[in-house]
Amino acid sequence: MIDNIGCRETQMLDLNFFYTMGRQRAFDRIQIQFENNQDPLNNLTYHNSLHTETVIKNTELILRMIRSVNPELVSEKDITLGKLAAAFHDVVQEWESGTDTSGAIKRMRKNGDNEEKSADESIVFIDNTVNTLFGPIFSEKDKNVVKEAIIVTIPRFNEGCVSQPNLTSKTSIVARAVALADLGTAGLESGERFFRDAVALFREDNINFLNSSNETKEQKKARMIEWLEFQQKFIEGRRTMLDQDLDGLDGNAINVVKGLFCHFDDSARMVRQNLIKAKETDTTFEELSKIFGY
């Protein structure tokens, strides 16, 4: 009996140990597949360690803020599950190349499939590494929470707005935190950070952009301007959808989480400044490319 009690106490004390193991597993995969891949096309400028680290950080921030006003809603184990889901949410990034109407080569991510497979990877880690080696640390309910939190990040693109259709008023608090953190940079981070992410995603999506002969420099410049205009719509879309995305939380939790999303104006300002610069007639393609991080 004493041994069993000690075992349960150890399991509770070591939750962060198991998260750290999972985080390392996820980051190893991300770094091998998307940062140090022998095929440069598979090295991603946005869906990499920095994005994942930011989602982990903001997932924990959101959950701890909710816990601060209502500890009954969020436990330390919930925070561990949220961080674990955030670590694994983008470990699979399968894609195909395609072309748009201008002939530009684009990266077409397999949205939906990628999140499903990433969720499967998280469950494999829990089952084969944690629960097999250390006993039933994470229950079936815990695994379902982690899987839900990754699946809910599946995006939908609609007229400049990006939403998460699996995020509803019935979504668990842990899954809601991961979803908000994943698309929340415009509100949660500085304008400078949002802009850096925005142009990193452009570079990731537009394959061989600088060297492509399918477009003239003016056409490429127009595409960059169009991307900045899309970012303006994205920011306003995320700002408008925040109340909907928080539906299902209680009033105090809604208020403290909304308070975290205080950088929309700063993000909009950064995009607006660079869009004005991009549209100036004397701004060259080379100058705009430098703004975009090339």
pLDDT, tens digit, 9 for 90 and up, residues 221-234: 999 999 999 999 99
**Structure tokens of 294?**
């090339």
The pLDDT of residue 10: 45
DSSP state of 42: G
Query: What Rg value do the Cα atoms of the chain yield, rounded?
Result: 21
Query: Residue 292: enclosing H or E segment and its boundaries?
Result: none
Quickly tell me which residue has 């960059």 as its tokens.
224
- Structural domains in the chain plus CATH codes: 2-291 (1.10.1300)
Kind of pairing between the strands at 105-109 and 95-99: antiparallel
Quickly tell me which residue has 């500085």 as its tokens.
190
pTM (whole model) above 0.85: yes
Write out the chain's pLDDT in tens, 294 residues.
333 434 444 445 489 999 999 999 999 999 999 999 999 999 999 999 999 999 999 999 999 999 999 999 999 999 999 999 999 999 999 999 998 877 788 999 999 999 999 999 999 999 999 999 999 999 999 999 999 999 999 999 987 789 999 999 999 999 999 999 999 999 999 999 999 999 999 999 999 999 888 889 999 999 999 999 999 999 999 999 999 999 999 999 999 999 999 999 999 999 999 999 999 999 999 999 999 999
DSSP 3-state of 238? helix
Among positive and negative, which fits the CA dihedral 108, 113, 116, 117?
negative
| Residue from 77, 59, 108, 88 nearest 14 by CA | 77
* CA 78, chain centre distance (Å): 19
Among positive and negative, which fits the CA dihedral 222, 223, 225, 226?
positive
Rounded-to-integer distance, Cα 136 and Cα 280, Å: 61
Quickly tell me which residue has 């060297």 as its tokens.
211
Cβ atoms of 164 and 191 closer than 8 Å: no
Rounded-to-integer distance, Cα 283 and Cα 256, Å: 42
Rounded-to-integer distance, Cα 221 and Cα 224, Å: 5
**Structure tokens of 142?**
């815990």
